[in-house]
């Protein structure tokens, strides 16, 4: 059976957090500078007064009636991929980094459009990376157009679902137009291969750009996670339970809004946590409180009966070193074993500001290990193998037994393709005494040695270039 989910909240505590969130919505409410959200506040169960929108519990209950508990993701080509909310975690490469670390270099450098293509190609080839987040904001294009150019590069090469974080309506709509051209579909919600992550401002303010993106995602039927990344002690209460109550309230706002606009649109519970280092004055994504909050988010998502996401595996480390491994392992295990459906940040390190291909390969290995753990230990007559034990008998051996040959591939984690060291020291030295980072670099290099093959034909590429040129002209 699968491993049981790890938890940090009991049922009564979840009830209390939900009840507190409802009181926040009814008594404090939220505000926005988005005229469309203010207009939406005329809907039953919402009321606007003096710039404050309050949400009644009845509106939340109605939203729960229409939001799907799970949904199917697709490839950009329209092929059914994997279920989100089906019980198994999906690992996406990290997104929105600023810098790229090249193997062998001491300093990271600004990312560019070619980096987006390289990361997309490597993510395509790694079986334990299920989707592709915007790896880096290219800085060889106008700053205001970085996300659009990154998504254009990804959509030309991606063979897996994509995760991106739009903050302006024009960016979002341009990306949707590029996605329709690249995929050949007219309905991005019918076979969704995009997941959007706009970010309102905590506490309780829906800034116009993010609000418009959430509305557009709902109209398109694109799965959406409204990420209010509350920082305990800064944008939320320093107590974890208080932050969770505020976090849950902000999720409920997005749930209600999206179900009012388009009932049945997939809504994803957010869980991208950081804390504030009160001693050093920086953002901490490797703190134990992050792991606790991630586990709690997965529980509250199940309470709300929707899929959830988390940012992970994460690390503050600036190198592919011991700290990196410790924090990545804790982060990935906390997220995946708590039942999180989507983990976004594979390939990232250095406070999520930097990406490297070697880190992406290593994180794919972490995902593979975690997946084996989640599968747990099966039982039943064949698995317990009583008859085989009798047949082999006292002082026998099982290596050559047919039962071993029949089951070892499914039962034991495959070390044959692993970049982790399993050999004795003399054999390891004879093979070059390579580090994990060296092995990861070699794997990425082998993938990139193959000729790049765009998934979009020439006519589609020309249409996409026209869409990008029109977007640029509107920004001049």
Residue 154's pLDDT is: 97
**DSSP type of residue 55:** E
Instruction: List the structure tokens of 281.
Output: 């004055």
Long-range (24+ apart) CB contacts under 8 A made by 435-443 are: 436/320, 436/362, 437/103, 437/320, 437/358, 437/362, 440/320, 440/357, 440/358, 440/359, 440/361, 440/362, 441/103, 441/357, 441/358, 441/361, 443/361, 443/419
Q: Which residue numbers in the chain have pLDDT < 50?
A: none
Q: 3-class DSSP state for residue 267? A: strand
Asked if 136 and 463 touch (Cβ cutoff 8 Å), the reply is: no
Residue 228's pLDDT is: 87
pTM of the model as a whole: 0.95
Asked if 467 and 178 touch (Cβ cutoff 8 Å), the reply is: yes
Asked if 89 and 341 touch (Cβ cutoff 8 Å), the reply is: yes
Strand partners, 74: 80
Q: Give the C-alpha separation, 208 to 227, whole Å.
A: 15
- The second-level CATH assignment, the architecture, of 65-375 is Alpha-Beta Barrel (3.20)
Q: Where are the domains of the chain?
A: 65-375, 381-411
Strand partners, 46: 55
Instruction: List the structure tokens of 288.
Output: 């134990």
Asked if 65 and 75 touch (Cβ cutoff 8 Å), the reply is: no
Phi, psi of 272 (to 5 degrees): -95, 95
- Which candidate, 191, 122, 118, places its Cα nearest to that of 161? 191
Helix 169-183 and helix 208-220, axial crossing angle in degrees, nearest 10: 30
Reply yes or no: is the peptide bond before residue 313 cis, omega within 30 of 0. Answer: yes
Burial of 138 (0-12, 13-18, 19+ CB in 10 A): buried
Residue 123's pLDDT is: 98
Residue 316's pLDDT is: 94
Q: Residue 42: CB partners within 8 Å, gap ≥ 6?
A: 48
Taking only the tens place, the pLDDT of each residue in 17-48 is 999 999 999 999 999 999 999 999 999 999 99
Instruction: List the structure tokens of 394.
Output: 């006292």
């Amino acid at each position: 059976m699968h491993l049981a989910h790890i938890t940090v909240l009991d049922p009564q505590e979840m009830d209390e957090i939900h009840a507190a969130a409802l009181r926040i919505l009814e008594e404090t409410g939220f505000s926005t500078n988005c005229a469309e959200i203010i207009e939406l506040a005329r809907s039953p169960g919402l009321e606007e007064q003096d710039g404050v929108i309050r949400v009644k519990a009845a509106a939340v209950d109605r939203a729960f009636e229409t939001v799907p508990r799970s949904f199917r993701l697709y490839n950009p080509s329209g092929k059914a991929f994997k279920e989100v909310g089906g019980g198994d975690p999906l690992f996406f490469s990290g997104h929105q980094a600023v810098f790229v670390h090249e193997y062998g270099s001491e300093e990271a450098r600004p990312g560019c459009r070619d980096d987006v293509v390289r990361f997309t190609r490597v993510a395509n080839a790694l079986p334990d990376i299920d989707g592709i987040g915007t790896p880096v904001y290219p800085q060889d294009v106008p700053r205001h157009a970085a996300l659009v150019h990154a998504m254009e590069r990804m959509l030309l090469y991606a063979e897996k679902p994509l995760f991106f974080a739009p903050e302006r309506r024009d960016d979002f709509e341009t990306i949707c137009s590029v996605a329709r051209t690249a995929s050949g579909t007219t309905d991005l919600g019918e076979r969704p291969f995009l997941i959007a992550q706009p970010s309102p401002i905590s506490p309780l303010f829906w800034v116009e750009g993010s609000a418009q993106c959430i509305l557009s995602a709902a109209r398109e039927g694109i799965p959406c996670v409204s990420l209010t990344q509350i920082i305990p002690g800064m944008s939320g209460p320093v107590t974890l339970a208080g932050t969770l109550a505020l976090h849950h309230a902000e999720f409920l706002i997005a749930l209600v809004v999206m179900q009012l606009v388009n009932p049945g649109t997939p809504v994803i519970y957010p869980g991208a946590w950081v804390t504030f280092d009160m001693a050093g004055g920086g953002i901490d994504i490797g703190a134990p409180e992050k792991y606790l909050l991630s586990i709690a988010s997965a529980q509250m998502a199940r309470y709300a009966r929707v899929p959830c996401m988390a940012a992970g595996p994460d690390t503050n480390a600036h190198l592919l070193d011991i700290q990196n491994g410790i924090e990545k392992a804790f982060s990935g295990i906390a997220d995946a074993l708590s039942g999180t459906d989507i983990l976004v940040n594979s390939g990232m390190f250095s406070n999520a500001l930097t990406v490297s291909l070697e880190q992406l390969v290593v994180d794919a290995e972490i995902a593979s290990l975690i997946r084996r753990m989640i599968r747990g230990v099966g039982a039943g007559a064949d698995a317990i193998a009583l008859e085989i034990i009798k047949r082999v008998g006292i002082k026998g051996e099982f290596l050559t037994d047919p039962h071993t040959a029949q089951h070892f591939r499914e039962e034991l984690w495959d070390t044959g393709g692993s970049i982790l060291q399993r050999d004795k020291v003399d054999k390891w030295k004879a093979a070059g005494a390579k580090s994990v980072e060296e092995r990861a670099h070699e794997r990425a290099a082998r993938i990139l040695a193959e000729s790049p093959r765009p998934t979009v034909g020439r006519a589609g590429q020309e249409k996409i270039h026209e869409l990008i040129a029109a977007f640029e002209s509107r920004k001049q």
